[in-house]
Amino acid sequence: MPDTTTFSPAGLRLILLDADGVLWRGASALPHAAGFVERARLAGLRCVLVSNNSTKDRRSYAELCARLGIALGEADIFSSNHIAGPWLARERPGQSVLVLGSAQLHGSVAQHVCECWHAPAWLAQQGLSGFSAESGVYEILASLKPGIVLSGMDTATDYLRHSLACIAIQQGAELIGTNDDISFPVEGGWLLPGSGSQLGMYAAVCGVEPLVLGKPGLAILEQVELETGIPRSAMLMIGDRPDTDMALARRAGIPGMLVLTGVTGREAAESLSPRPLIISDLREAMQLLGI
């Protein structure tokens, strides 16, 4: 097994940066984030954002980066929101899709598939605003038969939407998740429920195994290769999650740096096997890269 606790920058051309816990926490930029991206650019290294968060489209992510002083534009954004549509068009052509997630996720996916429903909009069209077993709701929910249920982060979800998803899956729809992150970090050190919490509920209720597009799956990495023309052999992954970011690096056969500014503490990081290269923050990454 290769040594995962050392790193050589030889041949490096592109750095994959996770967002939450690496570049920012909640709505606040983390120390050295802006400086890291700028110094990498000056050293001839391209940085791209690779986030499992499906709530924001490319434009929204680029606007957030601009507000935080991080020099990443729309072409540098590779979130599960961005890759979902192209992946579905390529791997599930002709399938209809029910989106359980943000309006921006629905908008991104709808550009690439023939039939695409956003759960809250469809429910509103049926005149459903709340769950009531006496109102014939089961028959109404069962009338929608999508080929795929795409589950993403949905901070405004409710029981009715969950019911619609579960009935669709039990009628044969394939369950696909933008990611299976159970939690995400916010200011104050708190962890809140992530997309994986909702995805896990659907899987458990319906007795199915979901397909996951986000990290540690390789779909994001494949889209980066397609759009940048840079092979994965010239990439480095920097992230804060062993089960997504570092697992992606291992699957892809690329080096990874586990940064301690997100959800993973030093004690937990040092107990991992195989143990990744652990860095305190992006300033330490700059030192290792010589930028």
Start and end residues for every CATH 3.40.50.1000 domain found in the chain: 14-50+216-289, 92-212
pLDDT of residue 191: 84
Helices 159-170, 195-206: axis angle to 10 degrees equals 50
Q: Tens of pLDDT along 69-95?
A: 999 999 999 999 999 999 999 999 999
The fold of 14-50+216-289 is Rossmann fold (3.40.50)
> What is the phi/psi pair of residue 150, to 5°?
-100, 115
Q: Which amino acid is at 92?
A: R
In this predicted structure, what is the pLDDT of residue 9?
A: 81
**Could you tell me the maximum CA-CA distance found in the chain, to the nearest angstrom?**
66
The answer for residues whose C-beta is within 8 angstroms of residue 127's C-beta and 6 or more apart is none
CATH architecture of residue range(s) 92-212 = 3-Layer(aba) Sandwich (3.40)
Residue whose C-alpha is closest to residue 166's, from 100, 107, 113: 100
For residue range 131-164, list pLDDT tens digits in order.
776 668 999 999 999 999 999 999 888 999 999 9
Mean pLDDT computed over 185-200: 87
Q: What is the mean pLDDT of residues 162-185?
A: 94
pLDDT > 50? residue 2: no
